[in-house]
Chains A and B, each alone.
Chain A
Amino acid sequence: MKNRSIGHTRSRLFTAGLLCMAFVAAACGSSSKSSSSSTTAASTATTAAATASSQAPATTVAPVVTTPQTAITTAAPAPPTTVAQANKPVVGGELRVALESGISTLDPAKALIQPADRLVGLGVFDPLVSFDKDNKFVPYLAESITAADDLKSWTVVLRKGVKFQDGTDLNADAVIAHWLRMADPATLSNNQALAASQKPSKKDDLTVVFTMDKPSVGFPNDLTTSMGLIPSPTAVAKDPAGFSQNPVGTGPFKVTKFESGGVVVIEKNAGYWKKDDAGVQLPYLDKITFTGVADTQKRLQALQNGEFDLIQTADAATVVAAEKAKLKVQRVTGASSTTLMFNNKTGPTADVKVRQALAAAIDRDTINQLVYDGARVPSYSVFALDSPFLKKDTGNPKFDLEKAKALVKEVGKPIEITAECIPTPEANSFMELLKQQWEAAGIKVTLKSQDQGAYVTRIVKRGGDYQVGCFRSNQFAEPDQLRGTYFTDDQNNYTFFSDPEVDKAFLDGNSTTDFAKRKAAYDKVQVGLAAGLPGVTLMYDVFGNITSDKVFGLPTPEASALGLIKLTSVYVKK
């Protein structure tokens, strides 16, 4: 009965807890004419801090993400990626947006996970740290952010004179209140554990110092996620439970209508703190109306009918269809992909030879053609294609049926595996193809599927009661976010993979902001993962922002992934 389009299923998958998704990041913007290969630098964002420090003359200089000056200029509206570069932005007007799902919450303390919630959240709130057009970290609502040498504390200085939409001043107390609220178990925040590990203290009215137990190279990245979206402490105190529907931030737009799961309207915040390069008050638009339309094809159809001006999609086929229909498409190839996890501890897949045989028998191109009409991009790495940390020649097994057969022979006994996924049409088709491909290599396969909620719950309990399971890897800009997934005995390590070399490389990568050292460390990680095969990645995700030809000023999508954009600089021409 439920209309389970792929796009919808995907957003559902996000909700159900794309694991480390709390720190979503990475992705890459590209212009409308792009193909997957032309995507711009993705995880370059990760290197912002790193590069800064590696270029710093003396090690005593604290690694500064960027200076406030650059923040102000680079964080100004990114140049439109589409035709209207030379055109003057139009002030006023309404933008009608169709989202993947209705908005359920806009309370950043609880975490905004759904792409729809996050897109609207970026309209109502400002993140402390964001990305510039090259996807480098820049302070946004913060004026600067500076790490101590040991990376165990970070100093965040806030912008002066910024007010929340209800007139409350943005100050250190507001930031601290937000952190304490996230850290309070009663808030039921998805970021509770992380927020609790980052202890904020007030240095002066605009300065907060965060202290951590461990070196935290990924802190700037945390501030780009919903953790870094600062809510008005006055509004939160007035109605903590209702804040998710009546949010107040410092952002370019304020919420004027909120139907949970239905239509959400945001209107221009006249007192917004930002102007564009020409000195024009931002945002340009007067009003944005968001409607949740779960079915991705229906969304596209409604755009073509003229019912919407902008739609978001996480469905590669829709992106391709829109490109073919000559619509304006901003295509984004993410760092995340559909993956298979192998149980490295028990069952047949505990034998690395079995895992290698399974990996070598997978023909990604065929799956891409048959399931996704060739719209997705085969993936052989947990890193994005254009991540500066990507190592190309890791030895990750490519399709080689003969080698797979030879490995099966080497194992010397019949291999019987059970592969599991969730019961969506998409999953059913690629699991069925995988079964055929594995059976061609002489491996006996039984397919199982379980409702997503129950499936995810079971896997994350780490009971080890699976052999091969489908999953989605997380979006990230900061490679340290992969650590939990592969670190020995970490609570997020669902494959039970364990390799002391990889563990050590992760710790090396985590303890410095020097890019060269980090790159070397993550190269080791990638080689270790390719050899140990805790799992395999299959297809990179493709996201898209599709607009009518009246919409201009789309910024480069956030490196925080999913093709998210800030709508501050968007304008509509009649």
Chain B
Amino acid sequence: MRIGTKLGILALTVFLVSLVTFMISLLLPGDPVAIALGTSYNPNTASGRAQITEVRKELRLDRAVPMRYLLWAKGAATGDLGRKVGSSSGGVKTTRILKERLPVTLEIMVLTQIVAILLAIPLGMLSAYRKGKATDNIITGGSFAMLALPNFALGLVLVYIFSVKLKWLPSVGYTRLTEDLGKNLRSMVIPVLTLALGLAAVYTRLLRSEMTATLQEDFIQMATAKGIKPWRVLFGHALRPSSFSLLTVIGINVGALIGGAVIMEQLMSINGVGSALVESIFQREYQVVLGLVLVITIFYVVANFIVDLLYTVLDPRIRRGSTRA
């Protein structure tokens, strides 16, 4: 498929997701105006009614639904994602929330992927190479243990060990990268490790099974017969053809990781985009919910788009196939 077509599909996906999210926000229970105004206004007075009008205007509830969507989409396209309207919310803009919180979540997600991949590649390969031996059994057993452990439980255990008992790492909060790199990394250890261990288990299992198949291939037998060292065979010859499923799953996990990040953000009082989303849903701040979901969607879709492109790097046949098509 041409890149142009792919980009078209990408845009269509973002559009559809925004439309569906917008529609779901219409179905949520509770009157956003009443919630925004709290309880200290009196709907039976002129000024109370004026307040209602203000909020309705702000939330575009005075417009028809399709118009509301179009206005919102127009705003989103020009970088205006609305703001909180609740009377005790401070009217903070969605873009500000994103600016403050997206880097936090992104850091957790990126570090998690890196750690998970760095753990999974050697372990998966070792496991495949030593298939059926003690090493493989230990790695496989460990992987299953990590898969079975929900990440919030693992998180609590890590907090207990490293923060409460050993007092090595902070149990709550987050220091920005720009403020203090050391503190930043320290605050990242528990959330990243918690998420990465479970993920690494998935990747390890996947790589092991792919690699086991690859190692049966003729060209591997050939390489081994030529006397090439095992680690060179594994890294130089076997890894690339064994990474397709892994790559796909890494892409898919960009989405799953957002869910994991929400849990870790809640667990450790880290103010990321996940906790902002949960907060906004509870506060019925629809504009913020829509804005955040839109941006998360874009990230997800773009991440998978990049994974698609990486296939062509891994396997030139795909690239050639696309030029022929």
**A residues neighboring B (CB under 8 Å):** 1-3, 12, 15-17, 19, 22, 98, 102, 104-107, 110-114, 117, 183, 185-186, 188-194, 196, 241, 244-245, 259-263, 291-295, 298-299, 301-302, 305-307, 451, 453-454, 456-457, 460-461, 491
Contacts and interface: CB of A to CB of B under 8 A. Distances in A.
Contacts of A107: 90
A111 B266 contact: no
Contacts of A453: 30, 35, 282, 284
A1 B34 CA distance: 25
Contacts of B184: none
Given A261-B279, A293-B172, A105 B88 contact: yes
Interface of B: 29-31, 34-42, 44-45, 47-48, 50-51, 53-55, 83-85, 87-92, 96-97, 100-101, 163-164, 167, 170-174, 262-263, 266-267, 269, 271, 275-276, 278-279, 282, 284
A248 B85 CA distance: 21
B90 A295 contact: no
Contacts of B92: 104-105, 244-245, 260
A82 B88 CA distance: 34
A457 B97 contact: no
| Residue with the highest number of chain B CB atoms closer than 10 Å, among A19, A110, A117 | A110
B1 to A, nearest CB: 37
A258 to B, nearest CB: 9
A196 B53 CA distance: 18
A306 B30 CA distance: 42
A261 B174 CA distance: 13
A263 B173 CA distance: 9
A1 B89 contact: no
B27 to A, nearest CB: 14
What are the 5 tightest A-B residue pairs by CB atom distance, in nearest-first order? Answer: A105-B90, A17-B39, A244-B90, A185-B50, A262-B271
Contact of B263 (A1, A19, A105, A113): A1
A205 to B, nearest CB: 29
Contact of B87 (A106, A188, A194, A302): A188
8 contacts: A113-B38, A188-B36, A188-B87, A190-B87, A193-B41, A193-B48, A244-B91, A302-B170
A17 B170 contact: no
Nearest to B41: A192
Given A110-B88, A461-B34, 4 more contacts: A102-B271, A107-B90, A302-B171, A306-B167
Contacts of A261: 97, 101, 271, 275-276, 279
Contacts of B84: 104
A15 B86 CA distance: 10
Nearest to A452: B282
Contact of A17 (B38, B42, B55, B97): B38
Contacts of B40: 17, 22, 111, 190-194
Given A17-B38, A104-B88, A456-B39, A298 B170 contact: no
DSSP class of A's interface residues: helix, strand, loop or mixed?
A: loop
A105 to B, nearest CB: 3
Contact of A188 (B29, B54, B262, B278): B54
A222 to B, nearest CB: 13
Contact of B42 (A22, A188, A491): A491
A262 B101 contact: yes
A292 B91 contact: no
A550 B268 CA distance: 25
A107 B87 CA distance: 10
Contacts of B97: 260-261
B172 A98 contact: yes
B269 A185 contact: no
Which one of B172, B278, B284 has the greatest number of beta carbons of chain A within 10 Å?
B172
A292 B271 contact: yes
Contact of A185 (B34, B51, B88, B100): B51
B263 A454 contact: no
Contacts of B96: 245, 260
B164 A454 contact: no
Contacts of A461: 34
B218 to A, nearest CB: 50
Nearest to B36: A188
A298 B47 contact: no
A188 B51 CA distance: 6
Contacts of A1: 262-263, 266, 278
Contact of A190 (B35, B53, B88, B163): B88
B164 A192 contact: no
A191 B40 CA distance: 7
B321 to A, nearest CB: 43
A257 to B, nearest CB: 10
B88 to A, nearest CB: 5
A231 B211 CA distance: 66
Given A185-B54, A298-B172, A305 B88 contact: no
Given A244-B90, A259-B271, A457 B31 contact: yes
B54 A186 contact: yes
B278 A2 contact: yes
Nearest to A102: B271
Contacts of A113: 38, 88
Candidate in B40, B55, B83 with the most chain A CB atoms within 10 angstroms: B40
B271 A106 contact: no
A194 B42 CA distance: 11
Nearest to A98: B172
Contact of B172 (A105, A114, A302): A302
A111 B87 contact: yes
Contacts of B284: 453
Nearest to B268: A298
Nearest to A450: B29
Nearest to A454: B30
Contacts of B31: 457
A292 B42 CA distance: 32
A424 B97 CA distance: 28
B88 A192 contact: no
A294 B282 CA distance: 14
Contacts of A188: 36-37, 51, 54-55, 85, 87
Contacts of B89: 104-105
A2 B34 CA distance: 23
A198 to B, nearest CB: 13
A191 B44 CA distance: 16
Contacts of A301: 163-164, 171
B283 to A, nearest CB: 8
B220 to A, nearest CB: 45
